[in-house]
A and B are shown apart, each in its own frame.
Chain A
Amino acid sequence: MATADIAVDQAAYFDWLCRLGDNCLVLGHRVSEWCGHSPVLEEDIALANTALDLIGQTQLWLGLAGEVEGKGRTADKLAYLRDAAQFRNVLLVERPNGDFGQTLMRQFLFDAWHMELLRALQKSSDPRVAEIAAKAAKEVAYHLERLADLVIRLGDGTEESRARMQKALNVLWPYTGELFMADAVDQAVVAAGIAPAPESLKAAWDRTVAEVMAEATLSLPEGTFQHRGGKAGRHTEALGFILADMQFLQRAYPGGTW
């Protein structure tokens, strides 16, 4: 297996893969909450596609995480039988949906980062990572294009749509910094050539976001404070509720076949 050649702390590698998988899982969950409730049918269908892509990516990343861990845990076991403290997603993706503008803004800010990450991961020293990244990159390229377009249109739409998008940006901004903060887990996978350094993705992300916001006539918030914690398992209150929903059946009926 490829990992045999890669000198990396397996616990750190597992943790890092959970970050990728949990980001997709939690964001996919949030986006799927809109199904049947979106402002217009076309958008309901488009958002469901995004959620479906994210759930598919979750299966791949968590599947690989289970493989790396080597304790027989499947993607489902990881998704359904870990508690909040074991989840490794960034805080951004668990933020509540808010109004539709906030959901779209969260998606755009995430996609802009996700795209850069997946681009870099295609050169990963672990071919399994490169392969998943290549598949996901195609999906995310479309999400990003669509979301950048929507953010621009709504920013440069009516006064109300502009105000809502600006508010969404302001509210979510303090949750974007965590995407670029490195810790020991990141350092381990970076050293092994598995992943790019988180901070190395920032310049491109800044550029994309600045361009889109300029065209959307929205201003970048000036505050510098950034929340952190999700990557290390310290979450907001929101995640507990997400998991209560998501894991209900597996927890209430252990040993069931679904």
Chain B
Amino acid sequence: MYAQMVKAEGAKSREEMSEQERVFQDRIDRGEKIEPKEWMPEGYRKTLIRQIGQHAHSEIVGQLPEGNWITRAPTLERKAILLAKVQDEAGHGLYLYSAAETLGVSRDELLALLHNGKMKYSSIFNYPTLNWADIGTVGWLVDGAAIMNQVQLQKTSYGPYSRAMIRICKEESFHQRQGYDILLKMCLQGTHEQKEMAQDALNRFWYPSLMMFGPSDKDSVHSAQSMQWKIKINTNDELRQKFVDQTVPQAEYLGLTIPDPNLKWNEAKGGYDFSEPDWNEFFDVINGNGPCNVERMEARVTAWEDGAWFREGLMAHAKKQDARRAAARVAAE
């Protein structure tokens, strides 16, 4: 998902836990929220920083593929909607960084880890947006997948993360709809060329969207501990299945074909059978070899470095003002 491949330790059994860890685990099992500054296992704290940080990075890197089309949006209304949406993503990044900061790491530190490649962001944002239908498709599939993950994370055990998720889910409810709405217009009222554009976008984004949920549970060594801590609520495969089941009828309504010859309703399991994405491609992208990894990182690093003078200038002014006020107080006394 937005936090794929977050490394965590293996889960401990009750016997392996210290007394403090047992009390902590009991609180989580009772559904209590863990709040900043309360005692928590170091592994819990570290895993959360990685997960929330990665989630935050995904939001701000996620601005780029869509932001790419703000200046090219085809109507004034579409331009405003897309800009508002990409702006929301900046806001969501901000909320998530703030949640991570309650765990004793600063936003600048997290950004430095993003910039030097030590922290990751979701693989999906390393794919290019090549036509306007991609903007519809990203909203429909990528936000759809993200929302599926985020809805369950509202129940996560860490208070600030849960509250950020609640706010994000509330704001994000329009994101998926605006994407689907773009495709509705193009597929149901548009020209033949526009429909082709939409099919092309679906062809390119289908498997990368499935990858967003991370590798299959049987290959995912990190899930058990995170689920025990309620940092993760559903398994990767559960969410992926739910996503496919939800998406297929939506594609049918648009008259689009999901690019998977093996896609078939399975009456027995009450869900679709579908092909796995190419996990080699996934690992290539995660390891920096996706179509846009270099451009995405370059854009983030450039924004940060070119903006240093601005951040420093404002900080310097604030300090000057503080000093002036202090001097004025002294003079008055």
Contacts and interface: CB of A to CB of B under 8 A. Distances in A.
* A–B contact via C-beta, under 8 angstroms: yes
Interface of A: 25, 29, 32-33, 35-45, 48-49, 51-52, 55-56, 58-59, 62, 75-76, 79-80, 99-101, 150, 152-154, 156-158, 160-162, 164, 242, 245-246, 248-250, 253, 255-258
Contact of B83 (A55, A75, A249): A55
Please classify the interface of chain B as helix (H, G, I), strand (E, B), loop, or mixed, using the class held by over half of its residues: helix
B83 A52 contact: yes
Contacts of B315: 157
Given A32-B79, A156-B317, A256-B194, A246 B71 contact: yes
A49 B87 contact: yes
B311 A80 contact: no
Interface string B68-93: 00111111111110011011001101
Contacts of A99: 306
B63 A35 contact: yes
Nearest to A53: B80
A41 B307 CA distance: 11
Nearest to B66: A36
A48 B82 CA distance: 11
A242 to B, nearest CB: 8
B86 A258 contact: no
Contacts of B303: 36-39
A192 to B, nearest CB: 27
B80 A253 contact: no
A256 B191 contact: yes
B132 interface: yes
Nearest to A154: B313
A51 B83 contact: yes
A158 B316 contact: yes
A59 B70 contact: no
Contacts of B72: 245-246, 248-249
Nearest to B59: A41
A145 to B, nearest CB: 16
A56 B77 CA distance: 8
A33 B63 CA distance: 12
A161 B312 contact: yes
B190 A55 contact: no
B99 to A, nearest CB: 14
Interface of B: 60, 63-64, 67, 70-80, 83-84, 86-87, 90-91, 93-94, 97, 132, 182, 185-186, 189-191, 193-194, 299, 302-304, 306-318, 320
A35 B73 CA distance: 14
The main secondary structure of chain A at its interface with chain B is: helix
A150 B314 CA distance: 8
Nearest to A39: B307
A35 B72 CA distance: 13
Given A257-B186, A258-B78, 10 more contacts: A36-B303, A40-B310, A40-B311, A55-B76, A153-B317, A154-B310, A157-B314, A245-B71, A249-B132, A253-B193
Nearest to A51: B83
Given A80-B75, A256-B190, A258-B74, A35 B86 contact: yes
18 contacts: A32-B70, A37-B303, A40-B311, A44-B63, A49-B87, A51-B83, A153-B318, A157-B312, A157-B317, A158-B312, A161-B313, A162-B313, A246-B72, A249-B73, A256-B190, A257-B185, A257-B189, A257-B194
The 5 closest A-B pairs by CB, nearest first: A39-B307, A161-B313, A157-B313, A36-B63, A48-B87
Contact of B90 (A36, A58, A249): A36
Given A157-B314, A249-B132, A56 B80 contact: yes
A42 B318 CA distance: 16
B71 A36 contact: no
B307 A40 contact: yes
Contact of B311 (A39, A75, A76, A258): A39
B67 A35 contact: yes
Contacts of A250: 74
Given A153-B317, A248-B72, A36 B67 contact: yes
B83 A35 contact: yes
B310 A101 contact: yes
Nearest to B315: A157
A161 B191 contact: no
Contacts of B312: 157-158, 160-161
- The winner among A51, A79, A249 for most chain B CB atoms within 10 A is A249
B60 A36 contact: yes
Given A76-B76, A100-B307, A157-B317, A41 B60 contact: yes
B76 A75 contact: yes
A242 B79 CA distance: 14
Contacts of A248: 72
A245 B132 CA distance: 13
Contacts of B64: 36
Given A36-B64, A157-B314, A256-B194, A29 B185 contact: no
A40 B83 CA distance: 17
A161 B86 contact: no
Contacts of B186: 256-258
A160 B313 contact: yes
Contact of A158 (B78, B132, B309): B309
Contacts of A29: 71
A55 B71 CA distance: 11
